Amino acid sequence: MTDASENPRKATWKVEAAVAGCLGLVVFAAWWFFLREPKRFNVVLISIDSLRYDHVGCYGYPKPTTPAIDALAARGARFATAHSTTSWTLPSHMALMTGRPNDVHGVVVDFASLDRKRTMLAEAFLRAGYDTAGAYGGLYLDAHFGFDRGFRSYVNCGVPVTPSNAAKAEHDSHRIVTAPRTTAFAEEYLGKRNPDKPFFLFLHHWDVHYDYIAPKEYVDRFTAGYRGDLDVANFYFNDAIRADMAAEDLAYVKGCYDAEIRFVDDHLSRLFAKLDALGLTDDTYVVVTADHGEEFFDHGNKGHRLNLHEETLRIPLVFAGPGIRPSVIENGVRLIDVMPTLLDLCGLPPEPDCIGESLAPLLRGEDVSALRDLPIIAELTYLPKVQNDEGEWVTADAYDKHIATSTQRWKLIEVQSREYDLREAPLDFSGAETQPARFSLYDLGSDPTERTDRAATDAARLDLLQRRHVDVLVEHARRAQQMETTGGAPQPLPMSDHMQEIAAQNGYLQPVPSATKKKPRKPKSSATDPPTAPQNGQDPKSDKDSADK
């Protein structure tokens, strides 16, 4: 029989043991929770409109245009060869925000918008519990096209646009400064956001897009020594800015462009300082990229949305943040890879309709064979203007479809001319060919500026690239068809008669008889573009389809 005098001590021991056990369970539960629930990181995605990669310091440009971007690249990863999906703003940003190339997301003209069944990047973050906010400066990022989806706050820092003022708004958008408003929005958001939630912040910087109207002190810095009197206002329609202009005048134009870049970069410096001041830098992924580049008569044109050459397709792409090793990554990558990469970095599931690949393994320093030779494809739907019998400038009843596919070294550009009926079928680009497709072939290894077309002199290489071209088109058509059956609205790239013959040889389809070649029909006297969105920057007296964005 146990002595009663021992019972209090034994009882105390039991209580202490129980308390210790409970504390152990609490500690274990907390440890298990943090193991099972990885830390969620923030994301800041920055797109700088019209920024040529070769005017960025960390890409080798000798002028001091981008110290903030260069510093970001120094602590993060820079992709040496990144390509957009086109040479204008609307479809390229749609590719950025959906992880799908133009022919699969379907928004290839001014009057198209994304099907609501397709997921945007902000929607994926919102669904995962992130706070989401965005600001934009150019009209082609308007909510009309679907870019506001998934954002709790999506703010226009540019010119307000309505159906009734679209033309004026487009005109005015080239003559405003937006970086201060965009940066002020970001700083205010970061200061007032909910600290208990991770955030996704998207910023579209518009000012690098023409017109080049940076503050005078910036212009003076990058045009010192200029003694001419050139006015760069109204850039796209300014007849004084032309291919045969004096070399010193062209250098002045480029200097004004560089001034805009530095002006925006200084605003990025402010943003990065704000992240530091709030203690957010170590827990935030920051990405800086562009939607397309800019041409200064490299191939006879100015601006963009006119062709698919490298000066308008290659873009900067810099990632920095937790776990990203400082590096320069040589793999050729695409704008469509940004969305799956960000989702992967943040531990979120991939989107099933996404064609882009996650670059997270490369950012972690892994060598992934599947990411060594990604198929790079770009598209441009070019709608020219013609004059009808009444003297009105209207969209022609034929259009050009530019398609470029490239590897790390070789690039093939195909241009198709096809019938088109804006009035009856504005989103049908499958009209009969009006002439045989034209092909250009470039060796980017020895000819990075695409000066020598080798299509006529390297038949074997042309045939090889055309077959690869077909492989990419067929795969994208398959993915586009899958989207269409689930309610999407893709615009599959039309395959020219010549490419259909190659496709048949490759076993993809039965030979298709050549379409009857027809001359373009006479434009209808009253045809006009749909009023839902402006034909941004388009000169009514030019057969060049704009100025875009």
What is the per-residue DSSP string for 156-221? E-S----TTTHHHHHHHHTT---HHHHHHHHHHHHHHS-TTS-EEEEEEE-TTSSS----HHHHHH
| Pairing of the two strands 376-382 and 153-156 | unpaired
Structure-token pair, residue 296: 């200064």
* Sequence-distant contacts of 272-275: CB under 8 A, at least 24 apart: 272/68, 272/71, 272/72, 274/186, 274/187, 274/190, 274/191, 275/44, 275/190
Task: List, for the chain, all residue ranges whose pLDDT scores fall below the cut of 50.
Answer: 1-5, 29-36, 510-549
Tell me which CATH homologous superfamily contains domain 42-375. Alkaline Phosphatase, subunit A (3.40.720.10)
**Does residue 261 contact residue 51 with C-beta atoms inside 8 Å?**
yes
- SS3 sequence of 260-272: HHHHHHHHHHHHH
Nearest residue to 93 via CA among 125, 140, 143, 44: 140
**Does residue 206 contact residue 261 with C-beta atoms inside 8 Å?**
no
What local confidence, expressed as pLDDT, does residue 427 receive? 87
Nearest residue to 292 via CA among 306, 278, 304, 277: 304
What are the extents of the domains in the chain?
42-375, 397-505
What local confidence, expressed as pLDDT, does residue 255 receive? 98
- C-alpha to C-alpha distance for 472 and 202, rounded to whole angstroms: 30
What local confidence, expressed as pLDDT, does residue 24 receive? 57
How long, in residues, is the chain?
A: 549
Model pLDDT for residues 289-310, shown as the tens digit of each residue: 999 999 999 999 999 999 999 9
Model pLDDT for residues 502-534, shown as the tens digit of each residue: 888 777 654 333 333 333 333 333 333 333 333
- C-alpha to C-alpha distance for 434 and 503, rounded to whole angstroms: 21
ω into 211 cis (within 30 of 0): yes
Give Cβ neighbours of residue 309 (< 8 Å, ≥ 6 apart): 295, 298, 299, 413, 450
